Chain A
Amino acid sequence: MSDLFKPDEAAGIRLKQASLSFGEGANRLEALHQLELTIPAGEFVSVLGPSGCGKSTLIGAIAGLAKLSAGELLVNGSAVRAPGAERGVVFQHHTLFPWKTVFQNVEFGLRNRGVKKPERTASVREMLAHVGLEEFTHHYPAQLSGGMQQRVNLARALVNRPKVLLMDEPFAALDAQTRLNMQELLLALWSERRMTVLFVTHDVDEALFLADRVVVLSRRPAEIRSEVVVELPRPRTTSVLTEPRFSSLKRHCLELLRNESRRSIRPPPGDAQASPEELVEAVTEQA
């Protein structure tokens, strides 16, 4: 096994009574409400929830881009205060630097940490080979397909050997076939690295196929509504998608989600106007 994929010490995530709100006074908007979540080191957790419920805010908080208004957030035992290299983030799309080549994009985190050039080059080349992009090293992102761009995104996060990988609907913009390929690639990389993964999605199939455990969030402000342990054997292949066990888990998750979205039809007085877009804006505002 290459040095790059030497099993690394993974980190656990712990949220205690974590609340996060944006704005002041009448415009105050609570995105997370007393969230309790523990993810042991090396676990793969998917987060499902109605759209606009605060899933992305959760990622932003753990990444260190948004600050909690109350409660505690620990990664590997220490409180999160700012973004850090041990927490890698893969965003939905359009987050590769258009002015950097594939190589330069992947190299960026290592350069920021002052890794020397020969070592950097070796790591980037190895990482690119792992995601099957060695032939596209000197291409610009705009020259790549959506699936290839997300491979670069994945490589850009993983080359820093993060102990926690935070993924915010990373495959949502891809076509069905490419999405399946990416999911398999992610599982392959995870089984080698065993980093802690928090994977936000609105796709039940994706959540179940990837995770050890699926956490279902309530409508905003997000609380943990329920948890589903996925006891499907690993390594998983796409054939698992058609198994009866998978179908019954899926039915259960869909039921939970449907209940949540029914509840969210009646918005509580006070925060009816805020849209999910505003929430995202608010997160970025803080960053």
Chain B
Amino acid sequence: MATIGHITTTFTAMSTAITTLDDQPAVSNPALQTSRWRKVAARWFVRLLSIALCFVLWEAASRGKWTVLGARFENVPAPSQVFDAAKELARSPKLTGHLKASLMRIFAGFSLAAVLAVASGMLIGRFRWAEDGLMPPFEILRPIPAVAWIPLAILLWPTPESSMIFITFIGAFFPILLNTVHGVEGIDRRLVQASLVLGTGRVALFREVILPGSLPAIVTGLTIGMGTAWFSLITAEMVSGQYGIGYFTWEAYTLQNYPDIVLGMILIGVLGMLSSGLIRIVGLRFMPWFKFGGNST
């Protein structure tokens, strides 16, 4: 088709123009390209140097038993001690037991929260009766931090395991719920109208329009919820756990095994980062259109 050909050519011409504009100085001037590389390398050098400097200061502070603004580094293990503790833990069978326990609780609590929060969030965002019927109790429960639930959770659930899963669930539920509601409410009404005039039924409207339309917000909610799930779980494990990374960290304190405290903290950070990253990657897999400009055209 002539017009399409025309449009495509214009597009190609435009993109060529943009690339040329952007690349021209670099191509015509190799010296400039080298200096650009140098700038990038310099920035990375500063970044790595900053981390290295932190370690050096930390090592010096613990070895020299400094007191900085009243904070005593006397009992703080040095990075080298933490590294030795990490090597030892990696060799011992203890590590997998703790990891398994924490990951299982996260998986159970988070999955439950994801299913319930996304389902109720979609109803609340779409129907006034659901908003009036569900939102008031949620609004009252929401500001209660997961930690404050711990005593009641212990009374409420028969085993420490189930109460810890419950605490994880509470931590993850509200961020997922609020983001889902926000996502559903943000769906362009014209898209709903367009689907209605194309003969969409009630169920299909949810499956084909409301769910994909709010998916970017849901994924954001899941990413945040994963962070709060870890936060809540670690607290719960410190109070009532028998295994798990939080328990490991607290146990290290009570046994005065100080390098393991810091090791536990680092493990928590890494696990939280990896699981949030996993959510984001899986989320993008389910939204192949997202990289072309989000949820708008």
Contacts of A63 in B (CB 8 A): 197
A29 to chain B, nearest CB (A): 18
Contacts of B198 in A (CB 8 A): 85, 108-109, 112, 156, 160
A141 to B204, CA, bound (A): 21
Contact of B287 with A287 in the complex, beta carbons under 8 Å = no
Residues 129-159 of chain A: 1 if any B CB is under 8 Å from the residue's CB, otherwise 0? 0001101000011110101110000001000
Interface residues on chain B, number (Cβ under 8 Å): 34
Contact of B188 among A83, A94, A109, A113 (CB under 8 A): A94
Contact of B194 with A98 in the complex, beta carbons under 8 Å = no
Contact of A98 among B195, B196, B208, B296 (CB under 8 A): B296
Listed residue (B198, B212, B289) with the most chain A CB atoms within 10 angstroms of its CB:
B198
Contacts of B297 in A (CB 8 A): 93-94, 96, 98, 141-142, 149
Q: Contacting chain A: which of B1-9, B18-26, B50-58?
A: B1-9
Contacts of B292 in A (CB 8 A): 140, 142-143
Contact of B197 among A65, A113, A148 (CB under 8 A): A65
The yes or no answer to B157 lying at the interface (CB within 8 A) is no
A152 to chain B, nearest CB (A): 10
B9 to chain A, nearest CB (A): 12
Contact of A97 with B209 in the complex, beta carbons under 8 Å = yes
**Cβ contacts A to B, 20 pairs, < 8 Å:** A83-B199, A85-B199, A87-B197, A88-B197, A91-B194, A95-B190, A95-B194, A96-B194, A97-B208, A97-B212, A99-B215, A99-B287, A108-B208, A112-B201, A133-B4, A142-B289, A142-B293, A156-B198, A178-B7, A287-B193
The yes or no answer to A210 lying at the interface (CB within 8 A) is no
The yes or no answer to A84 lying at the interface (CB within 8 A) is yes
A68 to B144, CA, bound (A): 48
B187 to chain A, nearest CB (A): 11
Residues 75-119 of chain A: 1 if any B CB is under 8 Å from the residue's CB, otherwise 0? 000000001110111010111111110000000110011000000
A156 to B194, CA, bound (A): 10
B196 to chain A, nearest CB (A): 5
Q: How many A-B residue pairs have CB under 8 A?
A: 100
- Known pairs A94-B188, A147-B7 / 5 extra A-B pairs, C-beta < 8 Å: A91-B194, A109-B199, A112-B199, A143-B292, A160-B199
Query: Which residues 179-235 of A sit at the B interface, judged by CB distance below 8 A?
Result: 181
Residues 146-169 of chain B: 1 if any A CB is under 8 Å from the residue's CB, otherwise 0? 000000000000000000000000
Interface residues on chain A, number (Cβ under 8 Å): 39
Report the nearest A residue to B296, measured CB to CB: A98
Contact of B4 with A64 in the complex, beta carbons under 8 Å = no
A100 to B195, CA, bound (A): 12
The yes or no answer to B191 lying at the interface (CB within 8 A) is yes
B283 to chain A, nearest CB (A): 13
Contacts of A112 in B (CB 8 A): 198-201, 204
A139 to chain B, nearest CB (A): 9
Contacts of A109 in B (CB 8 A): 198-199
Report the nearest A residue to B10, measured CB to CB: A145
Contact A99:B213 (CB < 8 A) given known A63-B197, A65-B197, A88-B197: yes
Contact of A95 with B7 in the complex, beta carbons under 8 Å = no
A89 to B11, CA, bound (A): 29
Contact of A91 with B190 in the complex, beta carbons under 8 Å = yes
The yes or no answer to B275 lying at the interface (CB within 8 A) is no
The yes or no answer to B87 lying at the interface (CB within 8 A) is no
Report the nearest A residue to B189, measured CB to CB: A284
Contacts of B197 in A (CB 8 A): 63-65, 83, 87-89
Contacts of A143 in B (CB 8 A): 292
Contact of B195 with A108 in the complex, beta carbons under 8 Å = yes
Report the nearest A residue to B297, measured CB to CB: A141
Contacts of A140 in B (CB 8 A): 288-289, 292
Query: Which residues 160-183 of A sit at the B interface, judged by CB distance below 8 A?
Result: 160, 178, 181
B183 to chain A, nearest CB (A): 13
B20 to chain A, nearest CB (A): 21
A287 to B198, CA, bound (A): 14
Listed residue (B4, B195, B287) with the most chain A CB atoms within 10 angstroms of its CB:
B4
Contact of A65 among B11, B191, B196, B215 (CB under 8 A): B196
Contacts of A141 in B (CB 8 A): 297
Contact of B3 with A99 in the complex, beta carbons under 8 Å = no
B127 to chain A, nearest CB (A): 15
The yes or no answer to B192 lying at the interface (CB within 8 A) is yes
Query: Which residues 6-64 of B sit at the A interface, judged by CB distance below 8 A?
Result: 7, 11
Residues 268-296 of chain B: 1 if any A CB is under 8 Å from the residue's CB, otherwise 0? 00000000000000000001110011111
Contacts of B213 in A (CB 8 A): 99
Report the nearest B residue to A130, measured CB to CB: B1
